[in-house]
Structure 1
Amino acid sequence: MTDGCGAPAQTASLPATVDLNNEAVIQGTVVRGGDVVSGAYARLLDATGEFTGEVVTSDEGVFRFFAAPGDWTVRVLAPGGVSIDSAVTAQTGEVANLEVAI
């Protein structure tokens, strides 16, 4: 089975094929009461609030985006009508890590 967008798997560790010299990565884990939340939606919004992309959290509760450097918002939509926004800054050569508690 292949991924529709060709993106690396949403795993806790960054795939070895990712060259951080050329990438700005935003990743995180969604948790509820200390437990990871799989099947939540993580949306990436640009600085103007426009929708840019969406992924579903993995079995480990992980989401990951490859983004242009700059300011972003990650909006997590989880079962039960929960919606949480987190501001984050992406920089080439770095992984911006978030833990989103719902």
Structure 2
Amino acid sequence: MCAAPTQGQAIPAGVDVEKETVITGKVVANDGQPVGGAFVRLLDGTGEFTAEVVASGTGDFRFFAAPGDWTVRALSSSGNGDAKVRPESNGIHNVDVTVSA
């Protein structure tokens, strides 16, 4: 059993998005439908594993990171997918990951 935390849409109270870099998004299938329960990994600019969460039932995920080059990788029974994101500053940065078999 994985200990990765399940995600939701709301940013937790007390998080100052002007001081933090938040990477958030949704895991979706090719038809645009959300994919819940996917394992979502955050990889740094060299491809090294940094963190993992479980997407919510509506496919939502969230990471607190630093500005830089990141890959978000989703692994699910519906398939796998990657998306690149490059936050250059603090704030909320959205990226959706499409998975396919």
TM-score (normalised: structure 2): 0.82
**Aligned-residue offset at 1:18:** 1.2
Given candidates 56, 66, 69, the residue that maps to 2:67 is 69
Mean CA deviation greater in 82-91 or 36-45:
82-91
Gaps of 5+ in 2: none
1:59 matches 2:44: no
The C-alpha deviation readout for 1:48-70, integer Å capped at 9, x for no partner, is 11000000001121110000111
SS state of the match for residue 29, structure 1?
strand
Q: Distance in 2 between matches of 1:48 and 1:34?
A: 29
Aligned length: 96
User: 1:20–1:92: 8 Å Cα contact kept in structure 2?
Assistant: no
Query: 1:17, CA displacement in angstroms?
Result: 2.1
**Pairwise CA distance, 1:93:** 2.6
- Contact 2:42–2:51 at 8 Å: present in 1 too? yes
Share of identical aligned residues, percent?
49
Q: CA RMSD in A?
A: 2.0
Given that 1:25 and 1:91 are in contact with CA atoms closer than 8 Å, whether structure 2 keeps it comes out as: no
- Shift of residue 14 of structure 1? 2.2
**Does the alignment pair 1:98 with 2:72?**
no
Shift of 1:74: 0.5
The one of 9, 24, 36 equivalent to 2:21 is 24
Letter in 2 for 1:55: V
Structure-1-length-normalised TM-score: 0.81
